[in-house]
Amino acid sequence: MPVVRPSEAVVHEIHGVRFVSYATPLSGSRELCAWRGEIPAGTRAPAHTVTKEEILHLLDGELLVTLDGVTHRVTAGDTVIIRAGAALAVENPADRTALTWVTTSVGLEAALADGTRIAPPWAN
């Protein structure tokens, strides 16, 4: 289906973050996935390495994004390009929820520091 309504988006939660999935193969996309991330105040997501490039655009709020050991303060309107193979950590140091829009290729996986691999359903 070429149009996905908010009521049709699929919600997933992990590590205290809410992922509202709009584009996946289940909704008709063949190559790309897209979702809105809702990162509550004070959240520190675990560091992970991604297998596919991701584009993260911050719609609202503020984040600390660490890529390969370098931390960047990201504010609303900023876009972060996360290369495949990059180590990524995201933290919301603010007192309100940060909202992101993220796109990637179908089949993204993430490897946590302990070796656990995750194939997030909002990206597969």
* CATH number for position 50: 2.60.120.10
**Is residue 113 included in any domain, yes or no?**
yes
**Is residue 1 included in any domain, yes or no?**
no
Number of domains in the chain: 1
**Is residue 64 included in any domain, yes or no?**
yes
Residues 41-49, mean pLDDT to the nearest whole number: 95
Render pLDDT for 17-34 as a digit per residue (tens, 0 to 9): 999 999 999 999 999 999
Q: Which domain holds residue 71?
A: 6-123
Determine the pLDDT at residue 39: 98
**Is residue 10 included in any domain, yes or no?**
yes
**Is residue 119 included in any domain, yes or no?**
yes
Burial label for 21, CB within 10 Å (0-12, 13-18, 19+), is: buried
Q: Locate 21 and state its tokens.
A: 């999935």
Its pTM stands at 0.93
Tokens 């603010």 locate to 94
Short-list 14, 83, 77, 88, CA closest to 54 = 83
**Is residue 42 included in any domain, yes or no?**
yes
